[in-house]
Amino acid sequence: MIGTALIGTGHLVRLALRRDRILLPIWILFLVGITYSTTTALEELYKTPESRALLGVTANANSAFLAMLGPLHDTSSLGGLVAWRWGVFSGLFIAIMAMLVVTRHTRAEEEAGRTELISATVVGRHAPLAAAVIVAGGTSLLIGVLQALALIGKDLDATGAFAFGLSTASVGLVFTGVSAFTAQLSENSRVSNAIAGGFLGVTYLFRAAGDAAGESGPQWLTWFSPIGWTEHVRSFGDDRFWVLGISLAAFVLLVGVSAYVVTRRDVGLGLLATRLGPAGGTIGTPFGLAWRLQKGSLIGWSLALLVVGTIYGSVAQAVGQMVQDNPALGQIVQQIGGADAMVDAFFATITQMLGLITSIYLVQAVLRLRSEETSFRAEPLLATPVSRWGWVASHAVFALAGGAVVLASAGLGLGLVHGLRTDDLGTVLPQMLGAALVQLPAAWVIAGVALALFGLFPQFTGVSWAVVSVSLVITLLGPALQLDQWIIDVAPFTHVPKYPDIVAGPLLWLTGVAAVLLAAGFAGFRRRDLTT
């Protein structure tokens, strides 16, 4: 029975690999290349045991570092530094790769009607899902093995290298399972990716909140995050391979449930039924239609970032507590400006991360235009008196004003919780709102790139996600990788003034760059043909 359900899986795997013959090698080269270059950079920066020990003390004393990278468990080896500096982000990127691949070959194929055609041939009911899982999970494992070999090539311990590679690959396996399940929930691939991405964001925040709180906080939160499990493997230290069993069990459970659900629903449908619209039309303007299409995403992102801000606002209080509980640490912190400077550095890092996260929403809002066009819903709409400019503007406003709402929600969560805990709400709340909103011009630049690609080069709109990924890597890892300054300057978020030293100059010219890109997108769309 199982063999019958899997008939044709091999052919679908080959088809998926052929379709992704450019995308997958890019992911592999990117993740393995960053692993190797990070190792080289850290080897040059921290050549002596003394320098590594000092890094361990300062990194574990800085809650911003803890939230972003996790604790540095082992300073005795170069491998321990690599696991600390790149482990979290390597797992994060592998998770994103796995989610995109699974959704692309499952729900997106059903949405386009191709799965129904394939199912009419000699193909088993489970074959499309199995092929997607094999490709995404196999690519995750391949990346992990190649990362391990790259580390071994740098003369690092083989056991630790494979512990690191398998720990990051395990995150890809977990989110292969997550995406396989979310692909069963909705009829729309965008919604499936959004649910999986939301779960990834929540689990990342659990990991960050647990790590940032230090020993005095709720470190147990990291056990609720697949990314946190990579830390608990402790590569190049204890090498706790048994933790990988948790990821494997989650992968098997999620794929098993997904395979069961596939046989209990019709092709093209999801477990969550699509809500029917009203019998009579109630939308009279392009903006009204855009609001109907975008409001769920805007509300969801705003609530999510409000929760994120609340978590980080509560963690900030633990920074001062860490200093009070550890006199030796207090002396180090005093040298870098005291506990207040440490809290400011924490908020500077967190608000930058919130800005990067918000840019994902902005790109998603802009690319809804391309989704409407390729789904052939834009053409009949534009055949009415609705202008091209008005249609694009109705969606672009969600990338401009909507981004402000999302970031303000994050700042509100930060300010309310931290202000109440410090009994200074009237001062802290406006400061946190300002610190969050100054990230908006940089996010607008990324949205401008997405709209410019949509208007001028619509076939390359997917590059927008590459822009987001590259900006994230350069912003967070550029200095550690010793990238040239001109490369670091490419990322718009590196130009945003750090809290609390906020100045207007960079914000104004970032806004100007965003305006030029947005204008190019509008002009390009007015002059090009629609995809028909």
Residue 430 belongs to a domain: no
Q: What are the residues whose beta carbons fall under 8 Å from the beta carbon of 14, sequence distance 6 or more?
A: none
Strand, helix or coil for residue 478: coil
Q: Which of 339-343, 350-354, 386-390, 448-452 has the lowest mean pLDDT?
A: 339-343
Strand, helix or coil for residue 505: helix
d(Cα 511, Cα 170) in Å, to the nearest integer?
A: 40
List the structure tokens of 57. Answer: 């003390």
User: What DSSP character marks residue 102?
Assistant: H
CA end-to-end span of the chain: 42
How many domains would you assign to the chain?
1
Q: Tell whether the torsion through CA atoms of 311, 317, 323 and 325 is positive or negative.
A: negative
d(Cα 355, Cα 341) in Å, to the nearest integer?
A: 21
Residue 324 pLDDT > 60, yes or no?
A: no
**pLDDT tens digits for 364-412?**
889 888 888 877 788 888 888 888 988 999 989 888 899 999 999 999 9
pLDDT value for 336 = 43
Residue 330 pLDDT > 70, yes or no?
A: no
pLDDT value for 338 = 46
C-alpha Rg value of the chain to the nearest Å = 24
114 versus 445: the higher-pLDDT residue is 445
440 versus 530: the higher-pLDDT residue is 440
**pLDDT tens digits for 405-436?**
999 999 998 889 888 878 888 888 998 999 89
299 versus 66: the higher-pLDDT residue is 299
Strand, helix or coil for residue 42: helix
List the structure tokens of 328. Answer: 């030796």
Q: What are the residues whose beta carbons fall under 8 Å from the beta carbon of 511, sequence distance 6 or more?
A: 441, 444
pLDDT value for 319 = 55
Q: Are 474 and 494 in contact (CB under 8 A)?
A: yes
Q: Which of 49-63, 153-167, 182-196, 226-240 has the lowest mean pLDDT?
A: 49-63
Question: Cα separations (Å) of 36 from 9, 91, 149, 153, 227?
Answer: 34, 15, 10, 9, 20
Q: Which of 95-109, 210-224, 432-446, 482-496 has the lowest mean pLDDT?
A: 210-224
Total length of the chain: 532
d(Cα 359, Cα 497) in Å, to the nearest integer?
A: 17
Q: Are 258 and 180 in contact (CB under 8 A)?
A: yes
**pLDDT tens digits for 261-289?**
988 887 777 777 767 666 666 777 888 88
Residue 398 belongs to a domain: no
Which residue stretches of 125-188 are H helix?
Answer: 127-153, 158-182
The average pLDDT across 16-30 equals: 87
- In terms of Cβ atoms closer than 10 Å to its own Cβ (0-12, 13-18, 19+), residue 57 is middle
d(Cα 226, Cα 232) in Å, to the nearest integer?
A: 10
Find, among 51, 2, 64, the residue nearest to 319 by Cα: 64
Residue 354 belongs to a domain: no
37 versus 512: the higher-pLDDT residue is 512
pLDDT value for 337 = 45
List the structure tokens of 132. Answer: 């997607």
The percent of residues above 90 in pLDDT, for the chain, comes to: 28
User: What DSSP character marks residue 494?
Assistant: G
Residue 461 belongs to a domain: no
Find, among 175, 147, 173, the residue nearest to 162 by Cα: 147
**Other residues' Cβ atoms within 10 Å of the Cβ of residue 262:** 19
User: What DSSP character marks residue 276?
Assistant: P
**Which domain covers residue 96, as residue numbers?**
1-272
